Structure 1
Amino acid sequence: MSRATKIVATLGPSSSDRGVLERLLRAGVDVVRLNFSHGKAEDHIARAELVRECAARVGKPVALMADLQGPKIRVGKFAEGKVMLEAGAPFVLDAGRTEAGDLMGVGLDYKELPRDVKPGDTLLLNDGLIVLTVDRVLGEKVHTLVKIGGELSNNKGINKQGGGLTAPALTAKDMEDIKTAMSFQCDYLAVSFPKNATDMEMARQLANVAGEPWRHKPAMIAKIERSEAIPHLEAILKASDGIMVARGDLAVEVGNAAVPALQKRMIRMARDLDKIAITATQMMESMIVNPVPTRAEVSDVANAVLDGTDAVMLSAETAAGKYPVETVEQMAQIAEEAERAEEVTLRDDFMQRHFGRIDQSIAMGALFTAHHLGCKAIIALTESGSTALWMSRHSIRVPIFGLTHQHTSERRMALYRNVQPILMPAHNERDQALAEAEAVLVERGVLRPGDTYAITCGEPMGYPGGTNMLKVCRVA
């Protein structure tokens, strides 16, 4: 393993070709994101099948992430497709309007907006490029004055500065999309715009019910996009398996300047709570049209890596960009270079944490031992992947290999920082399993005669959460 940080890439027109997708996986993509804001159910099912086929051809475990659209808080359509708003001009957002919009006003997909705003509120459209101030609310009409003008086209998003829109996190469309995602057993389900832990608990319950025919339960990712989510961040994390620092909508609501500190806080909290963190939005935005990133984008990706994020995510760069493969190659190179500058802080990590479970204590002991002995690898024989996850929460320059006979666990571990998942046959006998694990890593060239490694497992074998043994071995 040369890179600890994982790469999430969004599938779209630029990357749905079989040849391009295989090149993306070989270039370093670990997780493929299916954006349910676009396309029909049959499109997502076909793409999921394509990803699994390409992953098998490449010989690499790849996780599938289904990303729900969430509530559509958008303007309607315009007669001419777009209008040019001038600063100081009046503009009406009309929840009752059915005809196409014009320079005076436009309809709304989100019908509750008149009840969510009051005079003096600031509305930000098209990712904050257009700013409106609410003048008055009359029935279904929100009368505004244009503070910052610009081109406004069909279906652009609306945010309220400071938050406060009451739209539910899960819409009727999301509920149907969950069923679609469970039909191909997505490994991760990303929930857009959750406000609190209840939103995530509801999404998990719906996913578990929809996945019951396949006995499948996906890992849940909360996309932190609303200012209302920030005070409830810890509760949301505890109700989820991880978070996505979704910097686009979040920046519009809390202001651009607040996002970097929030990003660091969210990643740190996720690691402290043994959860996953994904950093997203505009990471390599210029590479949608340019063959190389800007220096600022290089620094952005590197800083996310140094913050300890599990993964960095590409959206339009791989979905619709001109250079999808080159973007992944550049991102992988930046991550590798940043990781060389990371500090190992195991001593501080251990002094500040308490372990109430045997399996967690074994995982921490493996890290500490491998670091001080200079082991070439840490091997976790795992059913669920939990031991590998706990190990991956701490920065260490020793690669972690999660060996499992569960396909679901193998793919899920593809998102864990510094963890390489490997599928191996199930063994009931401990010594047989240990010998097989060593043989797998010797065959892959990870271990050579004379190398030491740490290995963890549970005895008896085959029980999730049963890790209770740590052994240090030397290859004969």
Structure 2
Amino acid sequence: MSTKVNRRTKIVATIGPASESAESIGQLLEAGVDVFRLNFSHGSIEQHAAVAERIRKQSAVHGRYVGILADLQGPKIRISSFSNGSIKLAVGDRFRLDSGITEDGGDQHGVSFTYLPMLDSLHSGDILLLDDGRIRLRVDDIEKSAVDCTVTVGGKLGSRKGINRLGGGIAAPALTEKDIEDIAGLGRIAPDYVAISFVSSLEDIEHAKSLLDAQDLSVAVIAKIERAEVVADDDILNGIIKASDGVMVARGDLGVEVGDAELIGIQKDLISRARRMDRLVITATQMMESMISSSMPTRAEVFDVANAVLDGTDAVMLSAETAVGEYPVEVVKAMADAALGAERHPVARTSRYRLERQFASPQETIAMSAIYAANHYGNVRGIASLTESGTTPLLMSRLSSGLPIFALSNKPRTLSRLSLCRGVIPLYFDASSFEHEDIEVSAIEYLRDSDLLSQGDSLLLTRGEVMGTPGDTNIMKILPVS
């Protein structure tokens, strides 16, 4: 098998000026990208639709099913602009956030900001974090449309930088007017996943799903976990995860609000929770930040990716590294190498998870039994799942294994959706074109002829007794490859 097949952890790459051409997309596919992220904080629906078309054309050329993730901007709260581009603040300086200042009229004494309701969430003594915490302001006095602060951590402050509160709690709706307009235009893109930013409750997810249903879009919803108050409340967090198809550990804003020291444990907990609830999980933000301008990662960055892999993440994500970086192809290759290195460790290949749990359906029973059987019978070289909806391969991917899970389906949308599942290799296979008694032999021949299995191997295969019915998987067999 190739290294791309062997790698179980998926790679999400953000498209931007450095990577949006057809040639660049093809090179990223060759390097190992599994899902492409469209960042709706930049660009128009028309631009994103054009990029999505290029992605699908290139994936067809390369014979691969890849996913497209539309990442909505959400209520990013920012300062406005300075007339000179930036200022320098010193500890003890007085500084004013004032919505009455013109959009580009900020100076040494104050600047406007983008979200007036922010003031309703503030109290005297709060610490505001600007530019990912590089600048800190203590709230002294709150007025109807402004807040007076004292600088506690100074430095250079540029235009349009983000505002957070230490500990979180700045109330803002997850879906802004821009997000709702973008959802209305998603039919032109037909993404496989939609990421909702700054989710604060399961109602945010339900609202997003209702808007997607109104557009008749069958899309998996990813909740971005980036608010401190969400991770501080088990009931809210569990409700969000259950309401979603997956979560993103969005370490940028979340790290600013909870602090980097707390973020380490939160990441591990989020990955574990998502897997226990049969949800996908993406680990994101600054994973290989130095490679925006360097051709090699730091050792710390390699360790960061490897630790996320060992924690069980489905995917690791690149943002600016591939969107605007100088080495988009090299960073994907470096991330793939780091993931492969971690996956060779026994911890990443075995699982005792769910040993004490009762299964909820024949489908889950077959999926879990298949992974345990494959892990404990040395001659099995792969697991094949004949699938309609993709649920059985998803359930299989919740357990650790060193074996590939071949998802065989004639549903392109199912195959694209499975591109994010750890260890799952989506492959087009039309079981309906074969006689019922020939399906299993034909599947084995297809995998063998694709150099995914070799003569003498054993294959563990799952399917439904009646093909073509979603959720009907109830058969498991171990078959020889001959």
Q: Same fold (TM over 0.5)?
A: yes
Q: Determine the C-alpha separation between the residues in 1 that align with 2:347 and 2:145.
A: 56
Q: Determine the C-alpha separation between the residues in 1 that align with 2:283 and 2:480.
A: 38
Q: Determine the C-alpha separation between the residues in 2 that align with 1:316 and 1:149.
A: 26
- Residue 467 of structure 2 corresponds to residue 466 of structure 1: no
Q: How does 1:147-166 map to 2 (within 5 A)?
A: 147-166=152-171
- Residue 388 of structure 2 corresponds to residue 371 of structure 1: no
Q: Could you tell me whether the CA contact under 8 Å between 1:196 and 1:236 is conserved in 2?
A: yes
Against the structure 1 CA distance between its residues 347 and 22, is the aligned structure 2 distance closer, same or farther, given a 3 Å change threshold? closer
From 105, 108, 112, the counterpart of 2:110 = 105
SS in 2 for 1:112: helix
Question: Which one-letter code corresponds to 1:468 in the other structure?
Answer: N
Q: Determine the C-alpha separation between the residues in 2 that align with 1:344 and 1:93.
A: 48
Q: What is the deviation of 1:409?
A: 0.5
TM-score computed with the length of structure 2 as normaliser: 0.96
Q: What is the deviation of 1:469?
A: 0.7
Q: Determine the C-alpha separation between the residues in 1 that align with 2:439 and 2:372.
A: 23
Report the equivalent of 2:417.
Answer: 412
Q: Could you tell me whether the CA contact under 8 Å between 1:405 and 1:424 is conserved in 2?
A: yes
Q: Determine the C-alpha separation between the residues in 2 that align with 1:346 and 1:154.
A: 49
Q: Determine the C-alpha separation between the residues in 1 that align with 2:112 and 2:176.
A: 20
Report the equivalent of 2:222.
Answer: 221
1:366-413 per-position Cα deviation (integer Å, ceiling 9, x unaligned): 112212222011000000110000000111111110001101110011
Q: How does 1:175-194 map to 2 (within 5 A)?
A: 175-194=180-199
Deviating above 6 A after TM superposition, structure 1's stretches of 4 or more consecutive aligned residues are: none
Q: What is the deviation of 1:117?
A: 0.6
Question: Which one-letter code corresponds to 1:349 in the other structure?
Answer: Y
Q: What is the deviation of 1:331?
A: 0.5
Question: Which one-letter code corresponds to 1:391 in the other structure?
Answer: M
Question: Which one-letter code corresponds to 1:264 in the other structure?
Answer: K
Question: Which one-letter code corresponds to 1:93 in the other structure?
Answer: L
SS in 2 for 1:348: coil
Q: What is the deviation of 1:220?
A: 0.6
Question: Which one-letter code corresponds to 1:293 in the other structure?
Answer: P
Q: What is the deviation of 1:364?
A: 1.0
Q: Determine the C-alpha separation between the residues in 2 that align with 1:193 and 1:25.
A: 30
Q: Determine the C-alpha separation between the residues in 2 that align with 1:279 and 1:204.
A: 23
From 317, 329, 336, the counterpart of 1:332 = 336
From 454, 458, 473, the counterpart of 2:460 = 454
Q: Could you tell me whether the CA contact under 8 Å between 1:6 and 1:29 is conserved in 2?
A: yes
Q: What is the deviation of 1:432?
A: 2.9
Report the equivalent of 2:122.
Answer: 117
Q: Could you tell me whether the CA contact under 8 Å between 2:67 and 2:193 is conserved in 1?
A: yes
Q: Could you tell me whether the CA contact under 8 Å between 2:310 and 2:348 is conserved in 1?
A: no
Report the equivalent of 1:64.
Answer: 68
SS in 2 for 1:277: strand
Q: Could you tell me whether the CA contact under 8 Å between 1:306 and 1:342 is conserved in 2?
A: no
Q: Determine the C-alpha separation between the residues in 2 that align with 1:19 and 1:268.
A: 37
Q: Determine the C-alpha separation between the residues in 1 that align with 2:96 and 2:175.
A: 27
Q: Could you tell me whether the CA contact under 8 Å between 2:310 and 2:347 is conserved in 1?
A: no
Question: Which one-letter code corresponds to 1:137 in the other structure?
Answer: I
Q: Determine the C-alpha separation between the residues in 1 that align with 2:430 and 2:180.
A: 36
Q: Determine the C-alpha separation between the residues in 2 that align with 1:166 and 1:95.
A: 17
1:272-291 per-position Cα deviation (integer Å, ceiling 9, x unaligned): 11111100000000000011
- Residue 432 of structure 2 corresponds to residue 431 of structure 1: no
Q: Determine the C-alpha separation between the residues in 1 that align with 2:210 and 2:116.
A: 27
Q: What is the deviation of 1:347?
A: 6.5
Q: How does 1:299-448 map to 2 (within 5 A)?
A: 299-343=303-347, 348-374=352-378, 375-427=380-432, 429-448=435-454
Report the equivalent of 2:208.
Answer: 203
Q: What is the deviation of 1:344?
A: 6.4
Report the equivalent of 2:285.
Answer: 281
Q: Determine the C-alpha separation between the residues in 1 that align with 2:369 and 2:436.
A: 19
Q: Could you tell me whether the CA contact under 8 Å between 2:309 and 2:348 is conserved in 1?
A: no
From 242, 245, 250, the counterpart of 1:241 = 245
Q: Determine the C-alpha separation between the residues in 2 that align with 1:346 and 1:7.
A: 21
Q: Could you tell me whether the CA contact under 8 Å between 1:182 and 1:207 is conserved in 2?
A: no
Question: Which one-letter code corresponds to 2:39 in the other structure?
Answer: N
Q: Determine the C-alpha separation between the residues in 2 that align with 1:475 and 1:248.
A: 47
1:393-441 per-position Cα deviation (integer Å, ceiling 9, x unaligned): 1111111100011011100111100010001124175423222211210
Report the equivalent of 1:173.
Answer: 178
SS in 2 for 1:376: strand
Q: Could you tell me whether the CA contact under 8 Å between 1:95 and 1:113 is conserved in 2?
A: no
Question: Which one-letter code corresponds to 2:223 in the other structure?
Answer: A
Against the structure 1 CA distance between its residues 344 and 92, is the aligned structure 2 distance closer, same or farther, given a 3 Å change threshold? closer
Q: Could you tell me whether the CA contact under 8 Å between 1:34 and 1:65 is conserved in 2?
A: yes
Q: What is the deviation of 1:96?
A: 3.0
From 77, 80, 84, the counterpart of 2:84 = 80
SS in 1 for 2:440: helix
Question: Which one-letter code corresponds to 1:368 in the other structure?
Answer: Y
1:27-85 per-position Cα deviation (integer Å, ceiling 9, x unaligned): 00000000000011111111111111111111111100000000030011111121111
Q: Determine the C-alpha separation between the residues in 1 that align with 2:462 and 2:362.
A: 12
Report the equivalent of 2:29.
Answer: 25
Question: Which one-letter code corresponds to 2:145 in the other structure?
Answer: E
SS in 1 for 2:273: helix
Q: Could you tell me whether the CA contact under 8 Å between 1:95 and 1:114 is conserved in 2?
A: no
Q: Could you tell me whether the CA contact under 8 Å between 2:349 and 2:402 is conserved in 1?
A: no
| Structure 2: gaps spanning 5 or more residues | none
> CA RMSD of the aligned region, Å?
1.3
TM-score computed with the length of structure 1 as normaliser: 0.97
Q: Determine the C-alpha separation between the residues in 2 that align with 1:252 and 1:371.
A: 40
Report the equivalent of 1:12.
Answer: 16
1:334-354 per-position Cα deviation (integer Å, ceiling 9, x unaligned): 100110003267673242322
Q: Could you tell me whether the CA contact under 8 Å between 1:8 and 1:311 is conserved in 2?
A: yes
